[in-house]
Structure 1
Amino acid sequence: MPEPYRAPVEIVPGASSDVLLLCDHATNAVPAEFGHLGLPLEQFQRHIAYDIGAAAVTRELARLLGATAIFSGFSRLLIDPNRGPDDPTLVMRLSDGAVIPGNARIGAEGIAQRIAHFHAPYHEAIARHLDIMAAADQAPAIIAVHSFTPVWKTEPRPWHAAVLWDRDPRLACPLIDSLRQDGKFEIGDNEPYDGALENDTLYRHGTKRGLPHALIEVRQDLISDDFGAGAWANRLATALAPLIRQPDIHKIEQWGSRADMDPPIRR
C-alpha cells in the first residue's frame, strides 16, 4: 500500500547551518482523489513510485549531522520533483514497463495543477530555507539523497553507491575520494546516472545559487531495511562531516560548463 498522503513537503529541522539535506523521492504517497493513478497497489512498492530506502537514510543522516532535512510528500508517479517544469518526464505516462493510467491523458492544464499543488510547494520550501540561511551569512552545502535499483534491464549494477555532480566539484569529488578510501565499496562517479540534468533540484538550488552540492545515490538492496539504511547513513556522515566543516567550501561560486573545467585532482 502507498503511505498516507499528508502534505506536499515535510521539513525536519536541525541546528546545523553547514548543510541542508534533501530527499526528492521520499515517499510513494498519492492523495486519495487521484485513486492510485489507476495502478495496482503492488506497483507502489517499486522504484517507479519512490526511492526505496532514501528517506530512512536521509532521516538518520540528518540526525547524525544535526542538519535540517526537507522531504517531498508525494510519489514521483504523480509528478517528479527532481525535474524542471518543462521536462517531458515531469509526469511519466510509462515507467520501467508500467503504464500509468492516471497520467496517460493528462494535458497541460492537469500538469500545471500538479505543479502548483505539489512540485512548486516543495521547491518553494527549499528556497525559503536557503534564503533564511543566506540571510544569516551562510553558504550551506546541499546534499540530495536518492537510491537506485541493483539491476537495470537485466544488467546487474556493480556500484554500492554513487555521487552525481555537474559543474561544482568542491563537495562531490572529495566525497567520492573519501567513500573509496578503504577500497571496500564500488563508488560511482556520475554512474549509473549523470549529474548534469539542467533544472533538476540541485541545478535549481545549488548550481544557480553557487552553493556547494552533491547528489548521493545508494543501491536499494543495501538500504531496504533499517539496519542497512542506518549503516549507510553512518558511513555517509563519517565521510561528509569533515568536508562540510571546511570553511573554504562555504562560499558562493559560479562555475562554467563541466566540459570546460580541468579534471578534478584525486587525492
Structure 2
Amino acid sequence: MKQKENFYPFEEIPGNMEAGLVLICDHASNALPDEYGSLGLQSSELFRHIAYDIGAEMLTKELAKRLEVPAVVSHFSRLLIDPNRGEDDPTLIMQLSDGSVIPDNYPMSETERQRRIENYYKPYDLAVGRLIAGVEEASGKSPFVVSVHSFTPVWHGQARPWHIGLLWDSDRRAFDPLFTGLNEIAEIKVGDNEPYDGALKGDTMYRHCTTKGIAHILIEVRQDLIANEEGVIKWADYLQPLFHKINGMPMIHMKQIFPSRADW
C-alpha cells in the first residue's frame, strides 16, 4: 500500500493529445490518506482485490507508453470511495466487500460521505472529464476512451474461464473489432460482458462516454495474468496493436449516442 505525505487523488500521464485516444484506470491504487489509516482493516486486506484492481495500473501505464497517449489513473483505494460508481449508487462506499467488513465505513455520516466525494471522487472525475475534453479539442475529433480494469480468477468458489472481458453497453463500435481481434489469438478466451455487464447507470463510462456519444470500451483482464511485469508486457503486446487499429477507424471518432441499456 502506498502512503504519501501529500496525497493526490489522481495521476495524469502525459501523451499525444492529438492522437484521439484516452486511457483511464478507476481502480489503479490501494492507497489511503494517512488520516484514514487502514479503514479499520488488517493491512493485508488492502493488498486484496477488494481494495484495487491488481495489475490494472501497470497495464494502463504500459499501454499509454506504447501508444504515446495520455491517461488518468486514480490514486485512492476503491474502499475509500469508488470512482466507478454514480454518486447515488449504494455501493459508492462499501461497507462489506467479498466477506470483509470495512469498519470505518459503517456507520457513515452524511458529512463524511460528502467529504470523500468532494476530496477524492470529484477531483478524479473532473480530471477524467478534462482529459477527454482536452483530447477532443487538440485532435479536433471525438476521442476513443479505454477504461482498464482487472478481475479475480475465482469468485465465490467458481473459477472464471475468461482471460479478458469486454464490457460494453449499447455502443458496439469499439467492442466488435476488439472482440474479433482478440478471438483471433488462439490462447485467449474472451468474455462478452463477462464477468460483469457493461451497462451500469452512473459509472465512469456512462457519465463520460455513453451519455455523450463517445466511443469507448471497458476491459477486464484476469488478475493472475497481469500481476507481474512479464504478464503486463504480454497483454500489452496483445492489446496495443488492436487499440491502435481501432483508433484509426473514422467511425470511432464520430459522436453517436446509443441509448443505454441501464436506462431501459
Does residue 3 (structure 1) correspond to residue 2 (structure 2)? The answer is: yes
- Residue 125 of structure 1 pairs with residue 161 of structure 2: no
TM-score (norm: length of structure 1): 0.94
- Superposition map of 1:8-19 within 5 A: 8-16=9-17, 17-19=19-21
TM-score, normalisation: structure 2: 0.95
Counterpart position of 1:99: 101
Contact 2:20 2:136 in 1 (8 A): no
Of 63, 66, 74, the residue aligned with 1:64 is 66
Number of corresponding residues: 260
Q: How far off its partner does 1:257 sit?
A: 4.3
Residues 66-118 of structure 1, C-alpha deviation per residue, up to 9 Å, x if partnerless?
11010011000000000010000000000000000110111222111100000
Higher mean alpha-carbon deviation, 232-241 vs 88-97, is at 232-241
Q: How does 1:236-247 map to 2 (within 5 A)?
A: 236-247=239-250
> 2:252 aligns to what?
249
Aligned partner of 1:80 among 69, 79, 82: 82
After superposition, give the CA deviation of every residue in 1:183-226 in whole Å (9 maximum; x if it has no partner). Answer: 22110000010000011000111111211000000000000001
What value does the CA root-mean-square deviation take over the aligned residues? 1.6
Matches within 5 A, 1:30-179: 30-136=32-138, 137-179=140-182
- Structure 1 residue 152, shift from structure 2 partner: 0.3
| Aligned twin of 2:29 | 27
User: Percent identity of the aligned residues?
Assistant: 48
Q: CA deviation at 1:259?
A: 9.5
Question: 2 CA distance for matches of 1:258 and 1:49?
Answer: 28
For residue 226 of structure 2, what is the aligned residue in structure 1?
223
CA distance in structure 1 between the partners assigned to 2:118 and 2:108 by the alignment: 15
Q: 5+ residue gaps in structure 1? A: 261-267
The answer to whether the Cα contact below 8 Å between 1:18 and 1:245 also exists between their aligned partners in 2 is no
Task: Tell me the distance in 2 between the aligned counterparts of 1:182 and 1:25.
Answer: 27
Q: Do 2:201 and 2:262's aligned partners in 1 also have CA atoms closer than 8 Å?
A: no
Runs of 4+ in structure 1 off by over 3 angstroms are 257-260
Q: State the secondary structure of the residue aligned to 1:184.
A: coil
